[in-house]
Structures are given as structure tokens and as C-alpha cells.
Structure 1
Amino acid sequence: MNVINKESFDISRRRFLIGAGAATSLALFGVNPIVKAMDKAGYTTTASVNSGQWVATTCNGCTSFCAKQVYVQQGRALHIRGNEFSKVHGTSSCPRQYIALQEQYDPDRLAQPVLRTNPKKGRDIDPQFKPISWDSAIALIADKIMALRESNETHKYVALRGRYSELSDVLIKNFTQVIGSPNDITHSALCAEADKLGSFFTEGDWGYRQYDIQDTRYILSFGVDPLSANRQVSYYCSEWGNTLDKAQVAIVDPRYSASAAKADEWLPIEPGQDGALGLALAHQVLVLGGWHKPFVGDFNDGINRFIANRDVDENTFNELHTHGLVHWWNSVLKTCTPEWAEPLCGISKQQIERLAIKLVDAAPRVQIWRSRGVQMQHRGAYTAMTLHALNGLLGAIDQEGGVLKWNSVPANKIPSSKKYVDEIGANGLKHEKIDRRGRLEFPALKEGKSGGGVVTNAVAQSILEADPYLPKVVLGYFNNFSFSAPGAKRWEEALTKVDFVAHITTNVSEFSWYADLLLPAPHFMFERWGIQKTSGNRYSQLSITQPLVPAMGEIHEDECGIPWLIAKELASRGFTEPLDYLTQEFRDPETGKSPTSPQEIAEYATKIVTQPLWDPQMYKSGDRFSGWEEFRQKGIWNSEPYLFRARWSHMKTATKKFEFYSDTLKLALEKHAKKHHVGVDEVMQATGYTATGEKAFMPHYEPPFRYGDPKQYPLLLVDHKSRLNREGRSANTPWYQNNLDIDPGSRKNADVAKINPIDANALGIQDGDPITITSEQGSIHCTASLFEGVRPGTIAKAYGQGHWAYGRIASDKFGAKARGGNNNELLPPAYERLSGSSAFYGQIGVRVEKA
């Protein structure tokens, strides 16, 4: 049967989607619309007043991972609030949490497994999905795995991860390892690996930061929009007003963001040139004598010798908790004057000097924030290091009002699967990973290790070129790389070349369109077990998700339950190791019982990882609990408060100090170079950087790479995130579409690109005109919004629209016509190669025309 025929979709989809009601007339952000939506989907809504209860869970709508409480009444989720027990964000919330309710009751959700019946694949080709049973679906996956084992090709199994919880290693890493494949590929290089690089090669922390806004006096934010799209959006939305009462805020961004609207100052910088501004500020701080001496040190005689264009004798300076400051000055900073930076970044000499004075006056209670935009560029690693080095220079590291690492969380890791790998699996694990990490041109230096990271978007090219090999089985989990990765259409072409693609998903997405088998996923917030960690407000927290309401359809738990089902089927065919791993390593820590169902193994895994937090016999720090049941009810554990300055001269760098001259990076690059029998200069050249010699080990200026001839593509694209994006999954909800105008310059129910009136007038474009945006990579269609809040010469567009699948609201015509345009069809498949990150930002040249 033609299940997704573009003409008859509204009728035939009832076979495997939750319901037929479009729910497009729902009012905004209230409880009654949820009841109405459930009525339309065929669910009973007779509920008495005050008959429900608040149940703990976690929001996975962004990387804030806020702990939440959901009001559940007669098996229905009706309302959401912040978890009162959280010391990170308390009861504060953001708009994203409410959209989760419409995601949960989305009538377009996949409700049972479906099988592709049309062997041809393409954007305009109907997959002709038909419903099948879970038993048949699991048997089909087991068939494919057993075939790989029989041909000694287990390495040709690839697992791709998108959004996840801390339990995802069961499905993506460990289950894949026992099968015998090295290819557990996460989405991390599409997220923030370049961000982690900036912190690691200065202070030895491969992780994210928290910002102590309680006691700060000055925030300088490079591209970060904390009220919209950064960790702890809920907390910042609640606390930002208090912060503005105590501190000044300056936002450096080509776009006038929601946070810029609430700031003291907006600096519309030239895209890709944040590094130049950061270096000029560091130069000026030193010239002013404004470095934080208790952290950095001082000249032996107290006389400042940092004078523009002059070298300094290293023997005259006594460093305390930092390393290489004078070397950095002599090699890089001495010439990075405000006059030098002005024509590059578009911020005047006077503004730079004024910013430097404000930073010095407020130090050490200052914060330099940096976003994806300044780091996830082709040459973005050294910008990340520059901006974090500025924090070090001002003494903001581990300081009240400054920049902090995450507090530790003493949880268990997922049990290892190594001892369950048999001989066939061991042979498969010897093969190179499909994402090319560790090659000369892809160092992917996670924690300083060559090939230690991931290069997510390279998988598509590897498939297209069958280099290092062509996979035969691909399992995608909560990912939509053919929509969310730069050069998105490459993924469509790549997936047509794979023999068998399975996709675990809540909705039929663009990735699903190329799959052979779809498995319905539970909603992260309401229907499954899971674990998330986050940090902010001087605390770290671990919170759980748990099944709160009946699953909407024939759905099994995904991260642990689906591996369990496959393992049972494999065991029936004689391959017992996967089931042995799951039954022996995932026993209930309270009863010692082995799991017997998908739901049990997910619950046991949650208990195992969190046991040191809730078991009184294993208590180490933070909140205390009487046992599992109390922890489950509260849903959250909080750490001890942050211990300031404890890491000074005890950092995980090569010198144990904060490194302006990074011995840590030097060791990593030299090891990677030696591995490939070349020098560090050759590594720099292979990765697209211009630095030679010792500059490679220090923050320095790298000219942004421009994609597209300026004559043909004169404007620069500024990709940004909407306040309503729930990891790209909210576009099929009316609340998302009806409230897009909460982003400055955006419009309700429209996909707009914001263009300065100066540029629009020159192009003959008026407000509301349909336009086409074209880059070297491709073209998209959207609507023009004339907005003075974008720097002239740029055009800003939020990521999130442009779906041609995912549902009837996300797309203009499901499976046929996109609603608006997908930014990733404009972006080239470029990389920041030292970290493995994809490059979403920088100088992406585009042409804008009336459609």
C-alpha cells in the first residue's frame, strides 16, 4: 500500500501515525489546547480538577538540559514548570519547554515501525512505507547484522547519534562495539567541539563553562545570545534583569539578538573577525597594565614594559599561575593594536580602547563569552583560544563573577562492553573509523589525542567516495543530518548508496525519507528513561527523565530497549555476546535482578549510572537521598557549590598552569605530525591554517576564509538559532510557527531573512518580498525582512525552517515542498579541522535576489 503518497497522505498515514487531526487552530501556550489536541487525536479528556500530580523529568529541547516537573493528569501531560529542587535554575523556565507538549501530542508522530517498499530513493520519490510489526523490524535488523558477521564486514555497520541522554552509549557505542564496528559516530562535531578546544588548550578542560553572573561586573559576549540559545537559557531568562542592575553587558554580534536588545552596548562586528577584536583587546589590556596580577604575575620591578611594537625580556616578568605571557606578547600581541584591528573587524579604535578600559576596571569579575559562531569556522580554533586567553589575562578563571568549569558529578559510567567482543568483532574493530578522524587533514584533537574526537559531517563524503569503505548498514538515532549538517544534500545522495538504513525517530524526517526501516522513538521528556548533566549558578546537576505518560503508539524505549530487542534476536541465531553484555552488566543495583524487558533495562541502566548519587552507602558529595525512590521522585541531584581558585596552578595542561603559550597544543600537534611523518607546519597547511612555526602554539590572528567570490556573492550569511528551536524538532508545532516573532526582526508563520534596509534598497527588495538566497553550495527561498539590526553587508537567517518532511506544519507540502529554506543547503561542507567541528559560520558569501 502506498502509505505516504503525496496526494493521499492525509488518509493513508493513519496506518502508522498517531492521528489525523491537524491541530492548526490551537491557541498559544495554555493547557486547553493540549486537551483539544488530544481530543483531535482520539484520546479521552475527561479529567477532574486537581486530580493530577507533578512528576520530575528533564527538558531536552536544548543543551541547557533543565530539570523540569510535568503536571500529569489521568495519563496526560498538561503543564510544565522548572524543578523546584534545582540549584542551577530553580523554577525558572523558557518558551521551549511548552512546545514539548505539542511535540508529545503531535498527530504526525510515527506510531509503529514501517518498512520501505519502493527500492528507489530520492527527494521526489515516495518511499511507500508500510506498517510492520516490531518482531519483523527487529528480525530484519538482526538479519543485516548477521550477514555482516558472516562476511567478516562488521566494520561496515555505522551508528549515527543525534540528540541523546547519558544512556546513549548503550545503543551507539557499546552495542556497536560488541557487534564489531568502530563506527559509533556522534553529532558532537555539529555541536561545539571547537568550543571545547579553546578551553582545553589554555586550561586543560575539554568541556563547557559556566558563568558566575551573580557577582560579575562586566560581560563581553562574542556571538552568544544567552536569552535564546546557550546553556542555562532558563536561568538567564530569569536572572538577566538582576544582572543588568549590577553589571554592564556588551554583545559582539553582526545581528541584533534578543540579548543585544537587553544589553548596554551592541557591537555589530564583521563576520569571522572576532579573533582580531579579541587580540586587540588583549594587547590593550597589557598596554594599560590591566592584567590581573594575583593570577598572571607581574614585572620584577613593577614597571609595565608592554609597549606597542616592542619586545619584552622574558626574564623581567615573574608569572604565577599562567605560562607564556611574554612569549605570546613578543610573537603575536605586540603588533595587534586597536588601529590594526579596526579595518578587520569593523569596530573603531576608540570603541576597542573603551572596551579594554571597562574590562580592566571590572577585572577579575569579568566574563568573556564565546559562541559557536566565533569558533565553528574554517579557522576558528585560534579565535576560541584567543577569547579564552582574554579571560585568563583578566584573572576571570575560577573567580567570583568570572568563568568557571563544571562542578564534578560523581556518577558511574555505562558498564564497559570490551570483554564481550568476540574474534569476529575484534577484527572489525581494527578498521579505520568512517569519519576519517586522525588523518593528517583531520587531527580531531579531543583532549589532545590525534583522532580522539569526531568529524561527523565527513561521514557523508566517506560514503560517497567509499573511502575508507562503503557502509552496508547505517542506524540513525534521533539525528537528521540530511537537514542539520552543512552541505545537507550530500547526505541525501550518500544515503542512497547504503544498502540498508534504519532510523529511530519520532517523526518522518528528511533522513527518514532515505531509510529502509523506521522505528518510532519515545519522546525524550515524557516517555522514556534518561540522564542529563548540566551546570550553572555555581552548581552542577544531574537530572533524569522517566516515563510519565503512556507512549503514543507502539513504542519501545530506545537507547537501551532497542539494543535489548536486537540482542535477544541475535542470541536466537547463535550470537549471544550482545545479550550477555546487557543481562550481566545491567542488573538492578537494588535487587540484583537481570533485565527481562526493554523498559526494565532502561530503568536499571538509569539506576546503575546514578547509584553513587542516591545510594546512602555510596555517598560522596552534594545532595543526600534515602534511596532510589526519593531520588526518582525529586528527579535531580545537585553538586556542592563551586570551589573558587582551587584549580590555579593545578590545571590539566602540560605546565599545570593557564597557558598563553600552549605547551599542551604543541605536544598534541607534534604527536599528530609524527604519526604522519611530517612537521607541524605541514599539519597547519593540511588543516587550512596559515600559521607557521611557534604561532601554531599560541592564540593568533587567522584571516577568515571567504566562500564565494565577493563580486558574485557580495553579502555574508549570518546563521543563528531561534529562541523556539527545540534541537530542530519544534517546526511541526503551531506554537513554534505562531511565535517566531519573539526573535528580533522575525515574523509569525514565516521564514524570513533579515537584511539591512541599505542593502535591500540597493537590491530593489522591499519588506515582505519573496527572495532567493544563493551561495556556491545551493539556493533557498524565503521572505525578506528589512531590519536595521543586521550589519550592512550581511543577511541573517535563523536555522530551523526549510523542512520538506517532518510533518504537515513543518513542511509546505509533506514530502514534496519545503516551508521556507534550510540554511544548511547554503553552507559548504567545511570544517575546523583541529577539533573536527563543522564550519557553520565565518564568511559565507551569498547573493540575494527577488524570487
Structure 2
Amino acid sequence: MSSIGIDDRWIPSQCYMCIHGCGILAHVVNGVLVKIEGNPDDPDNMGKLCAKGNAGIMKLYDQSRFKQPLVRVNKQKGRGVRPEWEKVSWNEALGIVEDELGKIRRKDPRKLVTSIAEFQRMWCWGWPLAYGTPNYFTAHGTYCGSAYHPVNAMTDGSFATFPDLNYCNYLIMMGASDGFEAHLHLSGSAKRMADARRRGMKLVVVDPRLSVAAAKADEWVPIIPGTDGAFALGMMYVLMVELDKYDRDFLKNNTNAPCLVGPDGLFVRDRNTKKPYVWDLADNTAKPYDDPTLVEPALKGEYSVGTPAFQLLLDEVMKWTPEKVSKITDVPSKTIRRIAREYVDAAQIGATIKINGREYPLRPACVQYYRGAQSHKHGILDNMALKLINTVIGNIDVPGGHLGVPVYGQLAIWPGEDGMHHGMPINPIEKWQFEPRFPPDSTHLIEFVPVGQGHFGGGHISALTVLEPQKYMLNYDPEALFILHCNAPYNMPETRRVLKAMEKFRFIVAIDVYPSEASDYADVILPDHTYLESWSMCESEAPFVIGPGFRQPVVKPLYDTRDATDICTELADRLEFLDRWNNVLNHFFELYKKPEYMLEPDKKYGIEEILDRYFRANFGDEWTLERVREKGHMVRLRTPEELYLPYGRLRIPVYYEFMQSVKYKMERFFAETGLKWDLSDFRPIPTWLESPIHRDSEYALYAINYKSALHAFSDSTANPWLREIMLRHPEIPYVLIHSETAKKLGLRDGEKVRITSRFGEGEATIKTTEGIHPSVVAMTNMGHWCQHPIAGSAGGINHNIFLSAGLDYTDMATGVFETAAKVNIGRA
């Protein structure tokens, strides 16, 4: 209270202008939000806040928000068709949804398809399962992480990765922009990245486009899209074959590299303990990997009982000379050799460091990668190669190296039956479990895509199966779509096919804040609060910190809206599965830790009470909601013991035996059913395989999209402050093309062009630049057509119209789809 009659407050909360949730302080004067700043007390973002976070105020005061429940009047649906909404009461709107979804649930709950992208209320992903449907209709997660997350989990139980900027001296970034434009916790990561570069860390960026990271790097290496996995294999060739430099001690003692593999591709194991054998060179005999008499486990050679896993990796790496890789990637072989040498020299193999009295290996070199490097047709293999270029120098979860990042809490590490790290994929909710099934239950065919479990399977496949369920072996016909903060028509590949699927749904309900391409198709709108009016807690992929951020209302709800969790609870009650929904909440919030805080099966709970129970059950009885509200967050820095070597004595994989085991299971399944399925991605060691885009000679240029610090997913383009910055940006409104390429095509800077692929076409304005590979064009989050006046009028083009949703462009192990396209460009 600054003076009499003026209520002037700074209220701590959590940002939701991207999924990661920086700590914020909201300045509220007499009930009006006037400013948002970063919270300096939050060790995650340390008081820093990106443009999106600063612009959050305009989300709250957006005049195009859904202000009350709405029912569609115009029964016609299609791109550009206005819904013509009628205002109704909450009871009337909920009654319509209850009637429609109730009929479906009684008949066959699988006929409901769901489209959910609520990353700060991840418990809502469990609502469809409680309802009784496995179906997801969205590319969220699939687009970036459907192959990335499982390989991380198989390696060290992580969900994401990040370079240890505390000690890293040499960082190679491939298809990523951590600490510059996007990905994990941008505000805090930008500060940590700047500090590392100021300290002297060398940065090499491998990317088709001169990104912000590349512009600030010591070196930019342009590359052909979708060939990063080959680049990693070429680097490994230099390390393992030409230089013979890799971390032998780490590989022998901390990985399965010395474990013997039989002719069937599986480890040779002790019959009783299931522990893999290694070959002891000292005694010239096979022993279990943890035998106390083991002296010198072999990494190379072939022996009577099997071949060391490292030798099999070496055999594959021998195929990928820098000269061969250069022809694939368009990176000169001398550059590959030089970067590989610099990288391994910087790793200081054998060095150690003492932190808080404990000695750790020091490996201050790292290859960091994300969507651009690995979200491609053979994404699982790309991820394995990119992971192993880190593993062979011994930098996994050690100071200076390649750190695993959990989705929340600690890494999902536990021993498998052989005493090593379990080596399986995970999803954010539960341990991995998979059995193929025919006919499949799900529209996204997760029963046939074993590694991409949970929400991160091939959600884009649903666009195919919704339109032609019989062709894809479904024994039911999807009828309705449940949307929660998700914009599938904009985020899924092959837009024209997705729009046809949207038109086929007989009934659509959307829980959202304002209009989007998805909600334009809805029959009923159930309006959610904005993040500045609601409660939540979120811990999402946070490097260096642990503990949930905390969201609380900074102003009272401006309109007749409700909290999305409370809406889900109300619908669960009306549709008679409240007990199942409460069980989901008990599981997600881990209320079973203190049974007295568990939700009763037949009682409705508001989000405030659920959060109060969560904090008491997980942090102690004294941590009431009111106390957490005053503190503002529960975030702290991870200790060195939590950050480094979290797997302890559990060995992590060099050889991904899990993939071989699952391949056998899939082969048996498809032999029994007579179905044809592509199993080429099921391999225990990586290789590089061409994507269809690399074979498509009818189209001249590769098309990629990139992330900007101004936007996250498709949501933020509706923000007028961000739109103003975006339209003044020298690159974002345009399609980037190399100056010489444009000249050869007879095109000029600023000219309007028509871009075509096999799957779509559109018009855009080009920007000529030297900062892109000559064979590539690039675009970012633009091209909206929804009824929102800001997003729908910003112009530009949506990259997804050029992509394919087809199975021949999909990694059949994980469900990730090819995120680059081949296109032709001509004058419009």
C-alpha cells in the first residue's frame, strides 16, 4: 500500500507465455495489472524475462478473449468460415457437452479424439484416459520431441538435455538455439549462455540458417537439413578411427560398451542373474560385467561368446568417413575433421574437478541439439548418433558436459533386471509399457509405434485415421473432438488434410482463452481463465534448478470464465467418471505420499484445494497454499550431487539393446497379423538413412522453419505487442532465401512468390540474405487465418502446409515426422 486509497502490490507468480514458466512479479494497482517483470528471487530466470513474458499483460486485456460460454450458430465449417457465436450460460454450455460426450462414452469412448497442449497443467493430459479414450490429435510434442525424449530417457532417464554452462569450454549447437532464441527456459538460459561466452567458451553452430546463435557464435557451419546425424557419425569416425581418442575408462566402467553381444543382437547374459557378460583380457574369459575379479574388460575384438558393443559401434562408424559425410551434409571434410579434433581436445579426457569436496570427471565439451537436428524421418537414429558423440568422450551428466534434464523432479533412473540403467523410454506420467495390438485402439496408432509412448507418439497420424479409419484398421469411426489449449489445424503437418479431418468431426468442444484456427471449428466454447487469473504449479524441463514454480491469480477474473482444471472436474462429474479423474489427480500430484491428502473418489475438488493438498503432501504439512502464495515459488538450484552422475554405478547405454528387443517383438506381431510395417528404424546402434526429402529431385529447395524468441507454439502471435515487434523484424515476416539462389531463379528481395511442395502451396514475401544455405529457404511462426484480429491479420506463411502427415514421412519407431520439406519457388 503506497498511499491512502491506492492498493499498489507486486505479486509473485509464474509466466505462461511459453511452457517453461519463469518466475514473475506482477505489478497491480487498484486491481489493474500495469506491468510484469522477472522475479529476481527465482533462481531459474534470476529476474530476467523475455519479450513474451513482458507482453503477457496483453493476453489478459485482449478484447478478443472468450468472455463467456459460446455456442455455434453457423453450422457450416471450413477455413475462413465465421462461427457466428451465441452467448449462453455455463449450465447450458456444459449441458450440451455433457449430452454429446455422454452419448459417445456410453457407445464407445474411443470415438472421442482429444487435442491437448496444456503444458503447465499436464495433469489435464490424463483427462482423456479417465474418460476412456487413448486418442490424441495434435503435433505438440511430436513436432519437437517424439524421438528426442525417448532416446534421452533410454540413455540416462532424462526428458531433455542442456550443456553444462558452468564449466563447458567448447559447445557445438546443432539445430538448436538454447540460450539465444528458444527451447529450455530462455530467460535464465540466455543469462547463463552469456556468462559462459564471457568466460571464454567457444561456440560452434551447425545449422542451415544463420540463427541468432550462429550470428553470435565463433563459427557457423551451414548444413543440409536432416543430415545432422550423418555429421555426428563423421565426427565419431575422426575420434574413434583417425585419432583413437575417446574416454576408455568411462566407456568401460559407466556404460554397456564392453558388454558382449551375440549373433541375435542381444547381450550374452548369465542365465541366473541376467547380467551381461564382458570379455576380461587379463584372464581371457567371459565374466559378468560386475564380477569383482574383472580386471580389463575388452572394448574391441571378437570372442567365442560374442562381440563387445563398442566394437559393433566402431564397425558402423567405420562406414562414415568425412569424405562420405561431406557429400551428404555439404560440410567440407576438412571442417568435419577440424571440429572433431577441437571438440575432443577440449574434452580433456581424463581430467577431474573437485566440487564441494567430491571429485568428478571434467569433460568441458558438449554437442547440444534439438528439433532442427533430429525431428526427421529417421529421428530415432539421428538422436542416437547425436547422443553417442557425447557419450564416447565421457561427458554424460558430468561437469562441463551434456546434462540430462527431467520433465520434473529428478531423472527417471532405476535399475533394470540386469542391474544397469533400465534403458527404456518413458513418458511424463508413467514407466514405459507396450504391447502391440490389432486392431489398434488409438487414432495415432500408438500400438504400432512402441518407442513414442504417451502424448509424444505420432499425434499427426490421427489426421489420416480420422478421415479413413478402415484403411488404418480402426474398428470405430471417430465422431467428436475435445480441445484444451491446442491449435491442431495450425501445428500439424499437411494442413489441407488436417482441415478435412476437422470438418469431419460431428461435434467439437474447445476450452481456450481466445480464438484460434482450432476453436473456429468448435460447436461449444468453454472459456478458460488466463494464466494471470488462475492457479497452477509447474516444473517443466528446468536445467540447473528443481522444484515447482507457482501460479496464482494477480487479478480477479475479468469475465465469466472458469479454470480449465475445474472445467475438467465438472465434466468428469457430469459424465460419471469423477472417480477415475480424481485417481489421475492423486497420481499426478503424488498425493499418495500422505494418504490423508488423497482426493476421495466421489467428491469434486477445486484447483485451490488440490494445490493445497499437493504442497502439504510433497513439502510438509506446514506448506499450506497460503504460505506458498507468500513465498511465490518452490524453486531452488540443484546440488552437484543432483546434477552430476545421477545414475551412480548404473551403466548407461552405448548399445541400445532395448531397440533390438522391441524389433523382435514387432516382427513377431506383424508376422502373426500379416501386416506390413517399416521396421528400418529399430536398430541398437545408429546409422544414417535418407529421408524422402533427400530423394525428391522434382523439387529444388529444402524448406525449414525456425523458432523465434518472440513466439512459442502458435499462441503468442495473437499478442499485439509481439505482433508489432514481429512485423518490424528484418526477417520474421519473410521467407529467407540465399541471395545467389534468388538471383538464379530471377527473384528480387521483397518480391512476392508462390511456394509449392507435394502437399501444399502458398504465397509469401522473400528476404534475400547470405545467412542461409543456398539450397534452403526458412520461415517461422506466421500465416494464421483464424478469426482473431491480431493473429489472423499478421500475414506470412505457415510452414506446416508444405509437410506430409503420411507414414512414409514418419519415423515408425517413435512417430516423429519429417519437419523439413522440398519445395519449388517462383514469382507469384
Q: Structure 1-normalised TM-score? A: 0.79
Q: Distance in 2 between matches of 1:248 and 1:534?
A: 28
Q: Give the superposition deviation at 1:85.
A: 3.0
| 2:58 equivalent to 1:102 | yes
Report the CA distance shift for 1:607/1:627 in structure 2 as closer, same or farther (over 3 A).
closer
- Take 1:134 and 1:568, find their aligned partners in 2: how far apart are those partners? 15
Q: Aligned residue for 1:421?
A: none
1:233-291 CA-to-partner distances (Å, cap 9, x unmatched) read 11222232321132100000000001111110000011111111100101111231321
Alpha-carbon distance between aligned partners in 1 of 2:342 and 2:115, rounded to the nearest angstrom: 46
Q: Name 1:189's counterpart in structure 2.
A: 142
1:45-194 alignment runs, 5 A limit: 51-150=7-106, 152-166=107-121, 168-169=122-123, 171-174=124-127, 176-183=128-135, 187-194=140-147
Task: Please give the secondary structure, in 2, of the residue aligned with 1:696.
Answer: coil
Alignment of 1:527-566 (within 5 A): 527-536=533-542, 538-558=544-564, 560-566=565-571
Mark the CA change 1:411 to 1:522 in structure 2 (over 3 Å): closer, same or farther: farther
SS at match of 1:55: strand
The match for 1:210 is: 162
**Matched residue, 1:802:** 783
Assess if the C-alpha contact under 8 Å between 1:564 and 1:598 holds in 2.
no
Does residue 1:686 correspond to 2:677, yes or no?
yes
Which of 652, 662, 667 in structure 2 is aligned with 1:658? 652
Following superposition, the deviation at residue 114 of structure 1 comes to 1.2
1:29 matched to which residue of 2?
none
**Inter-partner Cα distance in structure 2 for 1:528 and 1:73:** 18
**Pairing 1:793–2:775 present:** yes
Give the equivalent residue in structure 1 for 2:441.
432
Provide the residue aligned with 2:396 in structure 1: 397
- Specify whether residues 847 and 50 from structure 1 end up closer, same or farther in structure 2 by C-alpha distance, changes over 3 A only: farther
Question: Which residue of structure 2 lines up, in the alignment, with residue 850 of structure 1?
Answer: 827
Partner of 1:373: 372
Report how far residue 194 of structure 1 moved: 1.2
Structure 2 SS opposite 1:81: strand
Q: 1:647 to 1:378 in 2, by over 3 A?
A: same
Counterpart AA for 1:768: G
The one of 315, 334, 345 equivalent to 1:350 is 334
Q: How far apart, CA to CA, are the structure 1 residues paired with 2:625 and 2:727?
A: 43
> How far 1:535 moved relative to its partner?
4.8
Q: Is the 8 A contact 1:534 1:540 kept in 2?
A: no
Q: CA deviation at 1:782?
A: 1.5
Q: Distance in 2 between matches of 1:320 and 1:139?
A: 66
Q: For 2:10, what is the secondary structure of its paired residue?
A: strand
Equivalent residue runs for 1:228-267 within 5 Å = 228-245=181-198, 246-267=200-221
My pick for the range that moved more, 501-510 or 828-837, is: 828-837
Q: Is the 8 A contact 1:444 1:455 kept in 2?
A: no
Q: Provide the residue aligned with 2:709 in structure 1.
A: 723
Deviations 1:755-799, CA, capped at 9 Å, x for gaps: 11101111121111111211111112211101110110111111x
State the 1:708 CA deviation.
8.0
For residue 343 of structure 2, give the secondary structure of its aligned residue in structure 1: helix
Partner in structure 1 of residue 491 of structure 2: 484
Give the residue type in structure 2 aligned to 1:726: A
Superposed CA deviations along residues 328-369 of structure 1, whole A, max 9, x for unmatched, are 102x11121212211111111111111011111111211111
For this pair of structures, how many residues does the alignment match?
731
1:658-703 CA distances to partner (integer Å, 9 max, x unpaired)?
Answer: 3222112222222233333379xx99x83373x7xxx821011212
Are the counterparts in 1 of residues 23 and 42 from structure 2 also a CA contact under 8 Å? yes
Q: 2 CA distance for matches of 1:598 and 1:720?
A: 46
3-state SS of the aligned residue for 1:235? helix
Mapped to 1, the partners of 2:580 and 2:827 lie a distance apart of: 57
Tell me whether 1:360 sits opposite 2:365 in the alignment.
Answer: no
1:303 corresponds to which residue? none
SS of residue paired to 1:143? helix
Quick check: 1:323–1:661 contact (8 Å CA) kept in 2?
no
Q: Is the 8 A contact 1:294 1:320 kept in 2?
A: no
- The reply on whether 1:841 has 2:828 as its aligned counterpart is no
CA displacement, residues 691-728 of structure 1 (integer Å, 9 cap, x when unaligned) = 7xxx82101121232178434x2011021112111322
Q: 1:39-61: per-residue Cα shift (whole Å, max 9, x none)? A: xxxxxxx9999842222222232
Task: Specify the alignment match of 2:632 in structure 1.
Answer: 635
Runs of at least 5 residues in structure 2 that lack an aligned partner in the other structure: 254-277, 282-295, 301-306, 348-362, 413-426, 431-437
Aligned match of 2:176 = 224
**Contact 1:410–1:612 (CA under 8 A) maintained in structure 2:** no
CA distance in 1, matches of 2:130, 2:620: 30
Displacement of 1:839 after TM fit?
2.2
C-alpha change, 1:541 and 1:590, in structure 2 (3 Å) is same
Q: Which moved further from structure 2: 227-236 or 384-393?
A: 227-236
Partner of 2:764: 782
SS at match of 2:717: coil
Q: Using the aligned pairs only, state the percent identity.
A: 23
Q: Of 689, 693, 717, which aligns to 1:706?
A: 693
Q: 1:476-502 deviations in whole A, cap 9, x for unaligned?
A: 110110011111222221122111111
Deviates more, 1:236-245 or 1:542-551: 236-245
Amino acid at match of 1:189: T
Partner in structure 2 of residue 18 of structure 1: none
Is 1:819 the counterpart of 2:808? The answer is no
- How has the CA–CA distance of structure 1 residues 598 and 739 changed in structure 2, closer, same or farther, with 3 Å as cutoff? farther
Is residue 679–residue 813 contact of structure 2 (8 Å, CA) maintained in 1?
Answer: no
Q: 1:784 to 1:577 in 2, by over 3 A?
A: same
Separation of aligned partners in 2, 1:583 and 1:725: 30
For structure 1, the residue ranges without an aligned partner over 5 or more in a row are 1-45, 299-312, 418-428, 617-624, 652-656, 813-817
CA–CA separation in structure 2 for the residues paired with 1:596 and 1:659: 42
Of 317-326 and 75-84, deviating more is: 317-326
CA contact (8 A) 2:14 2:551 kept: yes
The residue matched to 2:718 in structure 1 has which SS? coil
- Tell me whether 1:270 sits opposite 2:224 in the alignment: yes
Give the equivalent residue in structure 2 for 1:285: 239
Alpha carbon RMSD of aligned pairs, Å?
3.7
Residue 466 of structure 2 corresponds to 463
Q: Is residue 438–residue 452 contact of structure 1 (8 Å, CA) maintained in 2?
A: no
SS of equivalent to 2:12: strand
- Distance change in 2, residues 1:566/1:599 (3 Å): closer
SS in 1 for 2:33: strand
Amino acid of the structure 2 residue aligned with 1:461: L
**2:609 aligned with 1:609:** no
Q: 2:670 aligns with which of 635, 654, 676?
A: 676
Please list the CA deviations of residues 524-555 of structure 1 after superposition, one character each: whole Å capped at 9, or x if unmatched: x3121222113555322311212221223210
1:697 paired to 2:694: no
In the alignment, is the contact (CA less than 8 A) between 1:69 and 1:80 conserved in 2? yes
Return the alpha-carbon distance in structure 2 between the equivalents of residues 649 and 539 of structure 1: 20
When residues 361 and 528 of structure 1 are mapped into structure 2, their CA distance, relative to the original with a 3 A threshold, is same
